[in-house]
Structure 1
Amino acid sequence: MRIMPPRTPLAMPVQDLSAKAPRSAAGARLMAGVAWRRAVLLGTTLALTLVGCAVMARLLGPGGFGPVDAAALGLFAVLFAWVAFAFVSAVAGFVLMWRDAGLEPWRPQPVIFTRTALLLPTYNEDPGRILAAVQAIHEELQAKGVAELYDIFVLSDTRDAAVAEAEVTGVMRLRLRLDAAERIFYRRRPLNLDRKAGNIADWVKAHGGAYESMIILDADSLMGADTIIRLTAAMEREPQTGLIQTLPTIIGAQTLFARVQQFAGRLYGPIIALGQDWWSGAEGNYWGHNAIIRTRAFAACAGLPHVENAGPFSGHIMSHDFVEAALLRRGGWAVRMAAGLGGSYEESPPSLIDMAVRDRRWCQGNLQHSAILGAGGLHWVSRLHLARGVLAYLTAPLWLGFLLLGGLVWAEQARASGAAGHGAAAWLFGATMGLLLAPKVLGALAVARGALARRACGGGARLALGVLAENLASALAAPVMMLMHSRAVFDVLRGRDAGWATQQRDDGRLSLRTAWARHRVHTGLGFAAGAGAWLLDPAFFAWSSPIVLGLVFSIPLSMLSSRGDLGRACREAGLFLTPEETTPPEIAVRAAALRAAYAAEAAHRQEIARLMRAPVPCHVPAVQRTPAYA
């Protein structure tokens, strides 16, 4: 029985990042008319930033304009532009969602003809999770009558021998049980060179020639058969398209932290994705999973080189997805997003600490993009995506620096004039908070507009309460994440590698020992910052109190939010509900049931193994001695 199909090699040359590769306009024809959208986006962002900077300069003016004031204004300009850009993009997404624009192309049920591979890379993950996803997806494809057009590959980079044995054994048994020996395959690499990107590239070189497209999934990903078919049909319909990224919806959250993330992603994610799609056009982006890619385009354009002579950013490209999207577009292929297509799912880290561990790895990869920004032949929008990826983590130390400079400026202002410009400061603070919170409010409004969606979120009152609670939780977690991301940035710049740890995906409950170890510095800094702000000026303490509270209470907040019982209590109370939770997708229900069955089976095997290893007691009956004279 073959565990892999016959080889169908496809050449995947390593790309020269310095080459001035010509770009074709073919992909642009698919997304014509985006120039004015980009002009509106950038023009409005610039206008809002100039107004904000004018007010900030007025605040810094009294008492002279020294080096500290100039540094504070420079940081403010960058940070305010970052917030304004996201705001304008979200407003565009809200308008599209309100009009239901961008949804029509996905509604007709298509007919497909080409063969597609579904790739599930795994690294020391729970085999039961992977097998459950494989089985659930295959069963849905079979029910749709298209299973013969889709082959599923479990691509293992697992280093743990016991986990690898469970993987291959599970796949072989699954193939027999489903009679799918020609549809489900398994491969484990002897050397996991270049991590996930290398895993995918090795498959493309060995088997990519047999498939028109490939759909990349993660260990926590699911995708419904209807969505898979529609993505395949879109690739057949648009021969110039190289990649289509879906918007994964978070499902399966158990802990309070994960439920809040699930709720926020479901409410705010669609307008953010629609807005990005509105101005990205054919120069879209790729998030590394839950996307379909044209195999020959990927092979021809996305062979990743190692970065050389870039200090801490040297080596293989870690956050490969953004770079692969940029190289595909450089090669003349359209990269776009299917923001209005549902049926694509993923899961959330169960705790704040688990999210920080994941973000530490992403931080290293995204900062590495600063060494790729100058690559030859890239479209300027692709460079914008790369730059935004870098800023996603650099903004943390920038905010930290701005807050520290703000304290110095406040002290100078107070000494010079006896009072700071509280009125203008209040206006600027309110405007900034308004831009930050507006996408969340707009997302909630877009959901609340529909009666069915509103009821699926627990009704209008519970929806509003959930939005308020999520904003409070986000505000308290923000300073902790700011410090964690700042630490991650400094570690990367010092050359400390994030490693490749297995991600925690299930129970995230934290012990006091773990929470203390991870948050004691945050707590101490919170008390120090609060005391310093109070001594400087009680008014400044009031301004900075949200930051102080988030840091001071980081330990109990992290512990409480990681608890599954609190998550279940919120579920029973109808808080943080999402439509996918109220009416679960069939594939999610099936995958959850299969995962539970695999877990029970694994526990049963472990118990048998434990009993077999246990020493067998030897009971020797006592000898009944008979007196000699008897």
Structure 2
Amino acid sequence: MPAESPLLRRALFALLVAAIASLLLVLLLRALLPGGISALEWAILACIGLTTPWAALSAANALVGLVILLRAPDPAAAVLPALARAKPGPPNSITALLVCLRNEPMEAVLPPLTTLLQGLDQHGAADRFRLWLLSDTQDPEAVAAEEAAIRPFLAAHPTARYRRRAENTGYKAGNVMDALDHHLTEETFFLTLDADSVMTPAAVLRLVAVMEADPRLGIVQQLIVGRPATAAFPRLFQFGMRAGMRAWATGQAWWQMDAGPYWGHNAILRVAPFRDHAKLEPLPDGSRILSHDMVESVRLQSAGWAVRCLPAEEGSLEANPPALPEFLRRDERWGAGNMQYVHLFRVPGMTWLGRLQLAQAILLFLGAPLYVLALILAAANGLTGGGAGTPMGLLALAILAHGLCYFAPKLAGYAQVLLQPRLAETYGGRAAFARGALAELVFMQLFEPLSNLNKAMFLALLPFGARPGWLPQNRADRGVTWGDATRMLWPHTVIGLLLTAAFASLSWSALALALPVTAGLILAVPLCVFTADPRLSAWLRARGIAATPEELAQGAPVLRTTAPAPRRGDGGFPVPASN
């Protein structure tokens, strides 16, 4: 069977996933079997068993990705053959640049677009691109500010266009489709940008060249990394996220091949097939699909179009939420959107791999309540006399193995940088990179359990009408007061204290196994406050901790949003949403 056969690659990858999953389950069973398995322990086993496919998938993606990153002369071309055939220079086709807006601070949105347009002009390709500012802004004051800021921009860039919808039907997906249906004419491709997206002219031209090199391509999604940030929270979070996504996306692209992902922005799409196949109808209950991007990718795949990932970082950036409250609210919206996928499995014409991608997106969030439930069941099991015969050493090994698989993409990304001196130099050297990695690992050990509990709480309320809404996104750096953090996170803290007390009453070894999880819950409020504190942020920046290559590059701007004070929501927090 040819080496490029999708069937062979996916079969080999499935065997790797199955082997890793089997190892994880065997370790857990060996820890639970001595003394017999109680009813609560069977429930724990079921919870962890349902999370095991995601952990195994993460580890397999990481292993494959790391091998490619270390051995391939050009890892991106190794998983995207059209990249090697792409021709440099101005493109033949015309591409629309679609920027979706909704109550955005235009002083932060327009400068990167000015730089992009000027750069395309310098490459002799300005006449090959059409910029569209697609607004869904509804608030009258925000509309007035938006239009006032855009007028001089349009005067300086006569080929740019601005359109605002009176009604934001279908949210961002509806915004884009409206532009395709009513405004785009001669464009062959369109490139989607969020309000916080930054792409370089070279990255944009490369995406167009890849599309022109392969007429089968419907979507090419480039990897997206975090813009240099001043605030501690996004600085630490995106340092690890970047490493993990590089390994994950490379490994995933190897076996998914033409059935890749779409993340909604920093991607290029072919106009005609997207217009024909990616219109999203309301769900059976009349609601609109929130997490539209994966569904659009699956629709194009089902129609026979290739969707590929370009796992290259250069020239493709976005801003991450500036503080923990915005991050948690974004996660809730994503979780609500991903849970909608349960209604889509019976859509006619969908491929088996498309259904697998939707299931994978569901598992990404469904794992959170399963982990939380397993922890609660473990405490209940111990308090009711169960687990007396459990070898704590074997249990610790099983927990460690599961955690290593869960975080394998990030660890693989860290290993790549430490093993490649030239890449490490872009981070200021191995020592500087290791300091950033250590700080991020400590941060994530506290943050990940908190994030999982918050997702679990939200998903538990979702069937009873809890909805995150679709509101303006706060992108501005800000501090968080102790009062605000306490009002938002006191349930997480109480749950952490109760669980810690329960495990402490059992044994020191039980407490030691639980603390890596419960500590993040107990410290939720200070974690929220300190990671938004300008003093900690300044301390990290001054020492170059968790600095990215873009930040260290000569003259690279650090993202420091100076937006007006955001509208306040319940509990005194800015009301977040997403594009």
TM > 0.5: yes
Deviation at 1:188, TM superposition (A): 0.5
Alignment of 1:530-609 (within 5 A): 530-583=500-553, 589=557
Instruction: Determine if contact 1:248/1:345 at 8 Å carries over to the other structure.
Output: yes
Q: Partner residue of 1:407?
A: 379
Alignment of 1:319-338 (within 5 A): 319-338=291-310
Instruction: Determine if contact 2:225/2:313 at 8 Å carries over to the other structure.
Output: no
The answer to which of 455-464 and 366-375 deviates more is: 455-464
Counterpart CA distance in 1 for 2:238 and 2:87 is: 28
Alignment of 1:165-176 (within 5 A): 165-176=144-155
Q: Partner residue of 1:481?
A: 451
Counterpart CA distance in 2 for 1:383 and 1:415 is: 39
Give 3-state SS (helix, strand or coil) of 1:253's partner: coil
Instruction: Determine if contact 1:44/1:88 at 8 Å carries over to the other structure.
Output: yes
Counterpart CA distance in 1 for 2:244 and 2:313 is: 16
Instruction: Determine if contact 2:436/2:545 at 8 Å carries over to the other structure.
Output: yes
Counterpart CA distance in 1 for 2:224 and 2:321 is: 14
Q: Partner residue of 1:220?
A: 196
Residues 53-102 of structure 1: CA distance to partner in whole angstroms, max 9, x if unpaired?
23323333344444323222222212122111101111111111112343
Instruction: Determine if contact 1:103/1:341 at 8 Å carries over to the other structure.
Output: no
Report the TM-score when normalising by structure 1. Answer: 0.84
Deviation at 1:127, TM superposition (A): 1.6
Instruction: Determine if contact 1:258/1:348 at 8 Å carries over to the other structure.
Output: yes
Counterpart CA distance in 2 for 1:385 and 1:64 is: 37
Q: Partner residue of 1:141?
A: 120
Q: Partner residue of 2:109?
A: 130
The answer to which of 541-550 and 490-499 deviates more is: 490-499
Answer with 1 or 2: which has the greater Rg: 1
Match for residue 263 of structure 2 among 287, 310, 332: 287
Q: Partner residue of 2:12?
A: 40
Report the TM-score when normalising by structure 2. Answer: 0.91
Alignment of 1:113-128 (within 5 A): 113-128=92-107
Q: Partner residue of 1:493?
A: 463
Q: Partner residue of 1:102?
A: 75
Deviation at 1:275, TM superposition (A): 1.1
Q: Partner residue of 2:573?
A: none
Match for residue 212 of structure 2 among 223, 236, 241: 236
Match of 1:35, as an amino acid? L
Instruction: Determine if contact 2:396/2:513 at 8 Å carries over to the other structure.
Output: no
Sort the Cα spacing of 1:434 and 1:496 in 2 relative to 1 into closer, same or farther, 3 A.
Answer: closer
Give 3-state SS (helix, strand or coil) of 1:505's partner: coil
Alignment of 1:50-89 (within 5 A): 50-89=22-61
Sort the Cα spacing of 1:495 and 1:346 in 2 relative to 1 into closer, same or farther, 3 A.
Answer: same
Alignment of 1:439-478 (within 5 A): 439-478=409-448
Q: Partner residue of 2:576?
A: none
Match of 1:573, as an amino acid? R
Instruction: Indicate yes or no: 2:337 matched with 1:365.
Output: yes
Instruction: Indicate yes or no: 2:88 matched with 1:112.
Output: no
Query: Any unmatched runs of 5+ in structure 1?
Result: 1-28, 604-630
Instruction: Indicate yes or no: 2:135 matched with 1:163.
Output: no
Instruction: Determine if contact 2:33/2:390 at 8 Å carries over to the other structure.
Output: no
Q: Partner residue of 1:304?
A: 280
Residues 385-416 of structure 1: CA distance to partner in whole angstroms, max 9, x if unpaired?
2111111111110101111222334456x557
The answer to which of 135-144 and 453-462 deviates more is: 453-462
Q: Partner residue of 2:571?
A: none
Q: Partner residue of 1:12?
A: none
Residues 528-574 of structure 1: CA distance to partner in whole angstroms, max 9, x if unpaired?
11111111222211110112211111111110011233222212112
Instruction: Determine if contact 1:214/1:295 at 8 Å carries over to the other structure.
Output: yes
Residues 454-480 of structure 1: CA distance to partner in whole angstroms, max 9, x if unpaired?
223232222212212211111111121
Counterpart CA distance in 2 for 1:357 and 1:497 is: 10
Deviation at 1:592, TM superposition (A): 6.5
Match for residue 521 of structure 1 among 459, 484, 491: 491
Residues 131-168 of structure 1: CA distance to partner in whole angstroms, max 9, x if unpaired?
22321211111111111111111100001212212222
Match of 1:317, as an amino acid? I
Deviation at 1:578, TM superposition (A): 1.3
Sort the Cα spacing of 1:62 and 1:419 in 2 relative to 1 into closer, same or farther, 3 A.
Answer: closer
Counterpart CA distance in 2 for 1:510 and 1:295 is: 43
Deviation at 1:492, TM superposition (A): 1.8
Sort the Cα spacing of 1:563 and 1:262 in 2 relative to 1 into closer, same or farther, 3 A.
Answer: same
Instruction: Determine if contact 2:226/2:317 at 8 Å carries over to the other structure.
Output: yes
Would you say how many aligned residue pairs link Structure 1 and Structure 2? Answer: 557
Query: Any unmatched runs of 5+ in structure 2?
Result: 78-82, 566-579
Instruction: Determine if contact 1:208/1:296 at 8 Å carries over to the other structure.
Output: no
Instruction: Determine if contact 1:52/1:80 at 8 Å carries over to the other structure.
Output: yes
Match for residue 384 of structure 1 among 356, 363, 371: 356
Sort the Cα spacing of 1:415 and 1:233 in 2 relative to 1 into closer, same or farther, 3 A.
Answer: closer
Match of 1:354, as an amino acid? E
Counterpart CA distance in 2 for 1:203 and 1:438 is: 40
Give 3-state SS (helix, strand or coil) of 2:93's partner: coil
Give 3-state SS (helix, strand or coil) of 2:163's partner: strand
Give 3-state SS (helix, strand or coil) of 1:125's partner: coil
